[in-house]
Structure 1
Amino acid sequence: MEKIRIKDIAERAGVSVGTVDRVLHNRPNVSAPAREKVEKALKEMEYQPNVYASALAYNKTYVFYALIPQHESEAYWEEIEQGVQKAIEVRRDFNINVKIMYYERFNNNSFIDCYTQCLASNPNGIIIVPQDIETTKQFTDILHEQQIPFVMLDSYMPDLKPLSFFGQDSFCSGYFAAKMLMLIASNEKEIMLFKQMKDGKVTSKQQVNREVGFRHYMHDHFPQIKITELCVPFKGTRSEYDAILKEFFEQHPDTHHCITLNSKAHIVGEFLLRNNMRDIQIMGYDMVAKNAECLRQGSMSFIIAQHGYQQGYSCVDTLFKAIVLKKKVQPVNYMPIELLTKENVDFYRRTQL
């Protein structure tokens, strides 16, 4: 298709080149009749502005912040960070910088300190992994007031009106997890639900919603199967976890299948391998290296993957499109609910975009 020049538009509309330029960049000092002529010419000529070239020509620097929980290496959040770094690399020409800040889960003061520092830097856009809704709302109210766009990651809180959200549909994910587990555990009398807790709570709203979906399926289809919770401390040591698990399996010798709704299935999986307990398996979330190895070794039955890398990439890319290119973006973006087994885990591409 032949490139349409500003000169061509000006001739078609019967106005000056300067007038066309002002209309294209939404600048003042254009009369209503002149603007109408230019807009009519643009429509007739099917003109499509090169938003990428315009953004490059503007040569502005953009700073985005990502507020995520503190985490260990080889965790789900590390995949998120790798996706963020890839997005920065891809958009290098547009002078985009993303600064990652970490807060402590369950610590509202840590989250508040984190977002206070963030606000002091006058960011152009923000990616948030939310804390509880009340504390997060304090932050997002300020962002709305200051007209700073923000994207939510992992846990969806629609009442806070984010620009966009990336993550799984937690209820459907938990429902799906139960359905897949029952393919191999339908004849069991009891299954174990492994939960990491702090102050009587699990580590995220997402896990709460997954459990609702999980229990909904079990209640409707396998009400006879007992779900026994095993709650362990959020930051326990291996020896602490081993002692708790040893006691549990001694007291529940008929339990052969377990599930956790977070990325730490390997805590149980590695215990089972070390103790040669080959008749027990656990199912869990996220394609992190330790989980994948447990799957290969047979102590883990399934992994539900959710493309953490893609989520991190997409959050940055969405802010880029909305803020730099001034494009409309998709408000809700549910990630795939993918089931990995020993047979297909090595073909999973976590960096696929």
Structure 2
Amino acid sequence: MNEKIRIKDIAEKSGVSVGTVDRVLHNRPNVSKAAREKVESVLKNINYQPNMYASALAYNKSYVFYCIIPKHESEAYWEEIEEGAQRACEARRDFHVDVKMMYYRRFDSDTFVKKCKECLNANPNGVIVVPSELEITKKFTDKLHERNIPFILLDSYMPDLKPLSFYGQDSFCSGYFAAKMLMLIASGEKEIMLMKQTKNGKVASKQQENREVGFRHYMQDHFPKVKILELDLPLDGDKERYDEILEEFFVSHPHIHHCITLCSKGHIVGEFLLKTNRRDIQIMGYDMVERNAKCLRLGSISFLIAQHGFMQGYNCVDTLFKAIVLKKKVDPVNYMPIELLSKENIDFYRRTQL
């Protein structure tokens, strides 16, 4: 199509007024069926493609997206997500897009509910949320649906909530893959250790639960005789307490040489192994945060599975931008790659690469 075609030209070809063409282009009411069919026929014949970028810039509106995520330490997986979200805002600064972060405490549904209420009171244009328990999160997302506020689920996929989109790994496949990679180096072992961080018997997310399901499926299918010894490091513990628990465990289980954790805290075990000079033991974990990377380079972590938190944060904001500002259709489910890092390739991994 000729890019210089005007609404006036479309009106002339259709035999209708300029105002009618404008209402059809913007899907507004008060257009007769016959007139709409005439305009749509012309648009189809000339392969009309609206310049949504130009329209959005001309509108000169500001957009605020809220991102509700767990409170976290510096250099954690969630910090990567924040960095990605902010970078997406910078990339769309001409459109006056901003993202505001809100934090709730894991295992504390009251703080999640409180932040959700604050978010609703702010009436944002779109929301990114790392869900809490299904029923609690549903009360929030139902209100978002009532107000026609699009939202994206991050990290844990709950299709019953009917989000605009989802970003995260296929957690079952991720756990299955983790077991497969671990057993490439631990196939001769009779026991392996599974480190978990829990509170009141629960791990931090549905994603970790599903990873463990995938992990155990692989082990049952391929290594049913290998004993999986669980070690719980309480979520609210400190380094001194962790060291005591780990020392007791490894003294009691001298035949353990390989461990795995399905969260981003592999460095807790990795740093302990380095400090106590246990060079014959390794742990496999998740997420390319700096403390994990250091242990990987020094050999106490065997592999890391990366899920590109930066790109998840970036894509969540960019997807809201495309759907809300540019009125484009977006993919409802977006699984992130399952990337395996070792000390040989970690220095080539770019967590902030676009």
Q: The TM-score by the shorter chain falls in which range?
A: over 0.9
What is residue 319 of structure 2 aligned with on the other side? 318
After superposing the two structures, state which structure 1 stretch, 323-332 or 280-289, moved more.
323-332
Percent identical: 74
Give runs of aligned pairs for residues 64-143 of structure 1, distance below 5 A: 64-143=65-144
After superposing the two structures, state which structure 1 stretch, 20-29 or 128-137, moved more.
20-29
Inter-partner Cα distance in structure 1 for 2:241 and 2:17? 77
Could you tell me which amino acid in structure 2 is paired with residue 95 of structure 1? H
Inter-partner Cα distance in structure 2 for 1:93 and 1:7? 29
The number of residues matched between the two structures is 353
What is residue 197 of structure 1 aligned with on the other side? 198
Could you tell me which amino acid in structure 2 is paired with residue 47 of structure 1? Y
What is residue 275 of structure 1 aligned with on the other side? 276
Indicate whether 1:340 and 2:322 are aligned: no
What is residue 226 of structure 1 aligned with on the other side? 227
Q: CA deviation at 1:290?
A: 0.6
What is residue 9 of structure 1 aligned with on the other side? 10
**What are the Cα deviations for residues 68-125 of structure 1, in whole angstroms up to 9, with x where unaligned?**
0000001000000000001100111111111110000000100010101110111111
CA distance 1:29–1:201, change in 2 (3 Å): closer
Q: CA deviation at 1:336?
A: 0.4
What is residue 149 of structure 2 aligned with on the other side? 148
Q: CA deviation at 1:33?
A: 2.8
Inter-partner Cα distance in structure 2 for 1:322 and 1:24? 17
What is residue 46 of structure 1 aligned with on the other side? 47
Q: CA deviation at 1:21?
A: 2.3
Could you tell me which amino acid in structure 2 is paired with residue 264 of structure 1? K
What is residue 210 of structure 2 aligned with on the other side? 209
SS in 1 for 2:233: strand
**What are the Cα deviations for residues 283-324 of structure 1, in whole angstroms up to 9, with x where unaligned?**
000010111111000000000000100000111111111111
TM-score, normalising length: structure 2: 0.97
What is residue 289 of structure 2 aligned with on the other side? 288
Could you tell me which amino acid in structure 1 is paired with residue 250 of structure 2? F
Inter-partner Cα distance in structure 2 for 1:28 and 1:180? 57
What is residue 251 of structure 2 aligned with on the other side? 250
Inter-partner Cα distance in structure 2 for 1:127 and 1:298? 36
**What are the Cα deviations for residues 239-297 of structure 1, in whole angstroms up to 9, with x where unaligned?**
11111111110001010000000000000001111111110000000010111111000
Indicate whether 1:262 and 2:248 are aligned: no
Inter-partner Cα distance in structure 2 for 1:91 and 1:243? 49
SS in 1 for 2:50: coil
SS in 1 for 2:138: helix
Inter-partner Cα distance in structure 1 for 2:23 and 2:218? 59
**What are the Cα deviations for residues 133-174 of structure 1, in whole angstroms up to 9, with x where unaligned?**
111111111111222111000000111111110000000000
What is residue 21 of structure 1 aligned with on the other side? 22
Could you tell me which amino acid in structure 1 is paired with residue 59 of structure 2? Y
Indicate whether 1:188 and 2:189 are aligned: yes
Gaps of 5+ in 2: none
Q: CA deviation at 1:55?
A: 1.2
**What are the Cα deviations for residues 172-201 of structure 1, in whole angstroms up to 9, with x where unaligned?**
000000000000000001100001111111
SS in 2 for 1:193: strand
Could you tell me which amino acid in structure 2 is paired with residue 142 of structure 1? K
What is residue 330 of structure 1 aligned with on the other side? 331
Q: CA deviation at 1:36?
A: 2.1
Inter-partner Cα distance in structure 2 for 1:177 and 1:203? 18
Inter-partner Cα distance in structure 2 for 1:225 and 1:26? 62
After superposing the two structures, state which structure 1 stretch, 322-331 or 82-91, moved more.
322-331
SS in 2 for 1:197: coil
Inter-partner Cα distance in structure 2 for 1:131 and 1:69? 9
Inter-partner Cα distance in structure 2 for 1:293 and 1:82? 21
SS in 2 for 1:71: coil
Inter-partner Cα distance in structure 2 for 1:339 and 1:153? 21
Q: CA deviation at 1:8?
A: 2.4
Q: CA deviation at 1:2?
A: 3.1
What is residue 350 of structure 1 aligned with on the other side? 351
Q: CA deviation at 1:29?
A: 4.0
Gaps of 5+ in 1: none
TM-score, normalising length: structure 1: 0.98
What is residue 30 of structure 1 aligned with on the other side? 31
